[in-house]
Amino acid sequence: MSTATPRPPVPAAAPSVRLIRHGGLCLRLRWRLAALRTLLDGHSFWATGRRPTQLSRMLSGSQVVVSAWQGSTLVGFGRATSDGVFRAVLWDVVVAEEHQGRGLGRRIVEELLASRPVAAAERVYLMTTTGEGFYERLGFSRVDSQRLMLKQSSG
Ligand SMILES: CC(C)(COP(=O)(O)OP(=O)(O)OC[C@H]1O[C@@H](n2cnc3c(N)ncnc32)[C@H](O)[C@@H]1OP(=O)(O)O)[C@@H](O)C(=O)NCCC(=O)NCCS
Protein backbone atom coordinates (compact mmCIF):
# COMPACT_ATOMS: atom_id res chain seq x y z
CA MET A 1 0.00 0.00 0.00
CA SER A 2 1.32 3.45 -0.88
CA THR A 3 2.27 5.71 2.01
CA ALA A 4 2.68 8.80 -0.18
CA THR A 5 1.32 11.95 1.44
CA PRO A 6 -1.55 13.34 -0.63
CA ARG A 7 -0.72 16.65 -2.33
CA PRO A 8 -2.54 19.60 -0.77
CA PRO A 9 -5.15 21.08 -3.11
CA VAL A 10 -3.76 23.86 -5.27
CA PRO A 11 -5.68 27.09 -4.66
CA ALA A 12 -7.34 28.32 -7.81
CA ALA A 13 -6.11 31.58 -9.27
CA ALA A 14 -8.01 34.46 -7.79
CA PRO A 15 -10.94 34.96 -10.14
CA SER A 16 -10.16 38.65 -10.04
CA VAL A 17 -6.91 38.13 -12.00
CA ARG A 18 -7.72 39.31 -15.50
CA LEU A 19 -5.66 38.46 -18.56
CA ILE A 20 -5.23 40.94 -21.39
CA ARG A 21 -3.92 39.99 -24.81
CA HIS A 22 -2.70 43.32 -26.08
CA GLY A 23 -3.23 44.93 -29.43
CA GLY A 24 -0.26 46.15 -31.45
CA LEU A 25 0.15 49.33 -29.40
CA CYS A 26 0.00 47.65 -25.95
CA LEU A 27 -1.46 50.89 -24.65
CA ARG A 28 -2.36 49.71 -21.15
CA LEU A 29 1.19 48.45 -20.61
CA ARG A 30 2.78 51.52 -22.17
CA TRP A 31 1.00 53.63 -19.58
CA ARG A 32 2.31 51.30 -16.86
CA LEU A 33 5.93 50.68 -17.85
CA ALA A 34 6.98 51.26 -14.23
CA ALA A 35 4.70 48.37 -13.18
CA LEU A 36 6.23 46.12 -15.84
CA ARG A 37 9.70 47.04 -14.68
CA THR A 38 8.76 46.30 -11.05
CA LEU A 39 7.38 42.86 -12.01
CA LEU A 40 10.47 41.93 -14.04
CA ASP A 41 12.89 43.34 -11.48
CA GLY A 42 11.14 41.59 -8.59
CA HIS A 43 10.27 38.20 -10.03
CA SER A 44 12.68 37.36 -12.86
CA PHE A 45 16.45 37.03 -12.78
CA TRP A 46 17.19 37.55 -16.49
CA ALA A 47 15.10 40.65 -17.18
CA THR A 48 16.13 42.97 -14.37
CA GLY A 49 17.25 46.56 -14.86
CA ARG A 50 15.46 47.10 -18.16
CA ARG A 51 14.76 50.78 -18.67
CA PRO A 52 11.30 52.08 -19.65
CA THR A 53 12.51 53.16 -23.11
CA GLN A 54 13.91 49.66 -23.68
CA LEU A 55 10.71 48.04 -22.42
CA SER A 56 8.72 50.22 -24.78
CA ARG A 57 10.82 49.08 -27.75
CA MET A 58 10.56 45.48 -26.53
CA LEU A 59 6.74 45.72 -26.62
CA SER A 60 6.86 47.20 -30.12
CA GLY A 61 9.05 44.33 -31.29
CA SER A 62 6.76 41.59 -29.93
CA GLN A 63 3.91 40.22 -32.03
CA VAL A 64 1.97 39.03 -28.97
CA VAL A 65 1.94 40.47 -25.45
CA VAL A 66 -0.13 39.12 -22.55
CA SER A 67 -0.46 40.74 -19.14
CA ALA A 68 -2.31 39.65 -15.99
CA TRP A 69 -3.86 42.15 -13.61
CA GLN A 70 -5.34 42.02 -10.16
CA GLY A 71 -7.15 45.29 -10.02
CA SER A 72 -4.57 47.80 -11.16
CA THR A 73 -1.60 45.63 -10.10
CA LEU A 74 0.38 43.84 -12.78
CA VAL A 75 0.86 40.27 -11.50
CA GLY A 76 1.92 38.40 -14.64
CA PHE A 77 3.44 38.90 -18.07
CA GLY A 78 4.55 37.03 -21.17
CA ARG A 79 5.33 37.84 -24.77
CA ALA A 80 6.14 36.16 -28.07
CA THR A 81 7.81 36.93 -31.35
CA SER A 82 6.79 35.12 -34.52
CA ASP A 83 7.23 35.16 -38.28
CA GLY A 84 3.65 33.89 -38.48
CA VAL A 85 4.54 30.79 -40.51
CA PHE A 86 7.61 28.88 -39.41
CA ARG A 87 8.99 29.96 -36.06
CA ALA A 88 7.73 31.59 -32.89
CA VAL A 89 9.56 32.14 -29.59
CA LEU A 90 8.09 32.77 -26.15
CA TRP A 91 9.89 35.27 -23.93
CA ASP A 92 9.78 36.70 -20.40
CA VAL A 93 6.98 34.59 -18.87
CA VAL A 94 6.79 35.81 -15.28
CA VAL A 95 4.22 35.44 -12.48
CA ALA A 96 4.54 37.47 -9.27
CA GLU A 97 5.65 35.21 -6.46
CA GLU A 98 2.50 35.55 -4.40
CA HIS A 99 0.42 34.37 -7.41
CA GLN A 100 2.61 31.42 -8.38
CA GLY A 101 1.32 27.86 -8.19
CA ARG A 102 -2.29 28.79 -8.98
CA GLY A 103 -2.43 28.21 -12.71
CA LEU A 104 -1.67 31.76 -13.78
CA GLY A 105 1.55 30.88 -15.61
CA ARG A 106 -0.35 28.19 -17.52
CA ARG A 107 -3.06 30.71 -18.47
CA ILE A 108 -0.47 33.19 -19.75
CA VAL A 109 1.37 30.59 -21.86
CA GLU A 110 -1.89 29.16 -23.23
CA GLU A 111 -3.00 32.67 -24.18
CA LEU A 112 0.29 33.24 -26.02
CA LEU A 113 0.00 29.86 -27.78
CA ALA A 114 -3.59 30.55 -28.82
CA SER A 115 -2.75 33.87 -30.44
CA ARG A 116 -2.78 33.86 -34.22
CA PRO A 117 0.94 34.62 -34.87
CA VAL A 118 2.06 31.86 -32.49
CA ALA A 119 -0.62 29.31 -33.39
CA ALA A 120 0.30 29.72 -37.07
CA ALA A 121 3.99 28.90 -36.54
CA GLU A 122 5.04 25.31 -37.19
CA ARG A 123 7.47 25.38 -34.23
CA VAL A 124 7.36 27.28 -30.94
CA TYR A 125 10.65 27.64 -29.08
CA LEU A 126 11.65 29.02 -25.71
CA MET A 127 14.72 29.23 -23.53
CA THR A 128 14.53 28.50 -19.83
CA THR A 129 16.97 28.18 -16.98
CA THR A 130 14.71 26.99 -14.17
CA GLY A 131 11.29 26.54 -15.81
CA GLU A 132 11.81 23.22 -17.60
CA GLY A 133 9.29 21.30 -15.46
CA PHE A 134 6.69 24.01 -15.88
CA TYR A 135 7.00 24.03 -19.67
CA GLU A 136 6.94 20.23 -19.83
CA ARG A 137 3.57 20.37 -18.06
CA LEU A 138 2.43 22.61 -20.91
CA GLY A 139 3.48 20.22 -23.68
CA PHE A 140 6.99 21.45 -24.46
CA SER A 141 9.83 18.94 -24.80
CA ARG A 142 13.48 19.35 -24.05
CA VAL A 143 15.65 19.24 -27.19
CA ASP A 144 19.06 17.63 -26.78
CA SER A 145 19.89 17.45 -30.47
CA GLN A 146 20.40 21.20 -30.82
CA ARG A 147 22.67 23.73 -29.14
CA LEU A 148 21.77 27.16 -27.86
CA MET A 149 24.20 29.62 -29.51
CA LEU A 150 24.74 33.12 -28.18
CA LYS A 151 26.39 36.27 -29.48
CA GLN A 152 26.41 38.98 -26.87
CA SER A 153 25.89 42.49 -28.18
CA SER A 154 28.75 44.81 -27.35
CA GLY A 155 26.43 47.83 -27.14
C1 LIG B 1 7.65 29.52 -13.87
C2 LIG B 1 6.38 30.33 -13.62
C3 LIG B 1 6.06 31.24 -14.82
C4 LIG B 1 5.22 29.35 -13.42
O5 LIG B 1 4.02 30.07 -13.18
P6 LIG B 1 2.94 29.52 -12.15
O7 LIG B 1 1.75 30.39 -12.21
O8 LIG B 1 3.60 29.36 -10.82
O9 LIG B 1 2.65 28.07 -12.74
P10 LIG B 1 1.24 27.30 -12.80
O11 LIG B 1 0.60 27.36 -11.45
O12 LIG B 1 0.44 27.80 -13.94
O13 LIG B 1 1.72 25.81 -13.08
C14 LIG B 1 1.28 25.07 -14.22
C15 LIG B 1 1.77 23.65 -14.04
O16 LIG B 1 3.22 23.64 -14.02
C17 LIG B 1 3.70 23.08 -12.80
N18 LIG B 1 4.88 23.86 -12.40
C19 LIG B 1 4.96 25.19 -12.13
N20 LIG B 1 6.23 25.53 -11.85
C21 LIG B 1 6.97 24.40 -11.98
C22 LIG B 1 8.35 24.12 -11.83
N23 LIG B 1 9.26 25.07 -11.51
N24 LIG B 1 8.76 22.83 -12.03
C25 LIG B 1 7.88 21.86 -12.36
N26 LIG B 1 6.54 22.09 -12.55
C27 LIG B 1 6.10 23.33 -12.34
C28 LIG B 1 2.55 23.24 -11.81
O29 LIG B 1 2.62 22.28 -10.78
C30 LIG B 1 1.34 23.02 -12.71
O31 LIG B 1 1.19 21.64 -12.95
P32 LIG B 1 -0.30 21.00 -13.09
O33 LIG B 1 -0.94 21.70 -14.24
O34 LIG B 1 -0.05 19.58 -13.33
O35 LIG B 1 -0.98 21.30 -11.80
C36 LIG B 1 6.48 31.17 -12.32
O37 LIG B 1 6.78 30.29 -11.25
C38 LIG B 1 7.53 32.25 -12.39
O39 LIG B 1 7.26 33.34 -12.88
N40 LIG B 1 8.74 32.01 -11.87
C41 LIG B 1 9.80 33.00 -11.86
C42 LIG B 1 10.27 33.30 -13.25
C43 LIG B 1 10.72 32.04 -13.99
O44 LIG B 1 11.47 31.24 -13.46
N45 LIG B 1 10.23 31.88 -15.25
C46 LIG B 1 10.56 30.70 -16.09
C47 LIG B 1 11.38 31.11 -17.29
S48 LIG B 1 13.14 30.87 -17.04
Provide the pLDDT confidence category of residue 10 given band limits of 50, 70 and 90: low
- For atom 27 of ligand 1, which residue has the closest CA? 134
Q: What is the pLDDT of residues 20-31, one digit of tens each?
A: 999 888 898 999
Is any atom of ligand 1 closer than 6 Å to the C-beta of 109? Answer: no
Is residue 1 scored above 90 in pLDDT? no
Euclidean distance between CA atoms 69 and 14, whole angstroms: 11
Give the CATH number, domain containing residue 118.
3.40.630.30
Task: Please say whether the beta carbons of 39 and 74 come within 8 A.
Answer: yes
Q: Is residue 153 part of a domain?
A: no
Q: What is the pLDDT of residues 92-146, one digit of tens each?
A: 999 999 999 999 999 999 999 999 999 999 999 999 999 999 999 999 999 999 9
Q: Is residue 10 part of a domain?
A: no
**Domain tally for the chain?**
1
Euclidean distance between CA atoms 85 and 17, whole angstroms: 32
- For atom 31 of ligand 1, which residue has the closest CA? 137
Task: Please say whether the beta carbons of 61 and 81 come within 8 A.
Answer: yes
Distance 135 CA to ligand 1 centre (A): 8
Taking every pair of Cα atoms in the chain, the longest distance, rounded to a whole number of angstroms, is 61
What pLDDT, on the 0 to 100 scale, is given for residue 23?
87
Q: Is residue 7 part of a domain?
A: no
Q: Is residue 147 part of a domain?
A: no
Atom of ligand 1 nearest to the CA of 135: 16
Q: Which segment of 15-24, 80-89, 129-138, 142-151 scores lowest on mean pLDDT?
A: 15-24
Query: Domain range holding 23?
Result: 17-137
Average pLDDT of the residues in 14-18: 82
Amino acid in the structure at residue 106:
R
Please report which helix (H) or strand (E) contains residue 18, including its range: strand 17-21
Q: Is residue 11 part of a domain?
A: no
Provide the pLDDT confidence category of residue 2 given band limits of 50, 70 and 90: very low
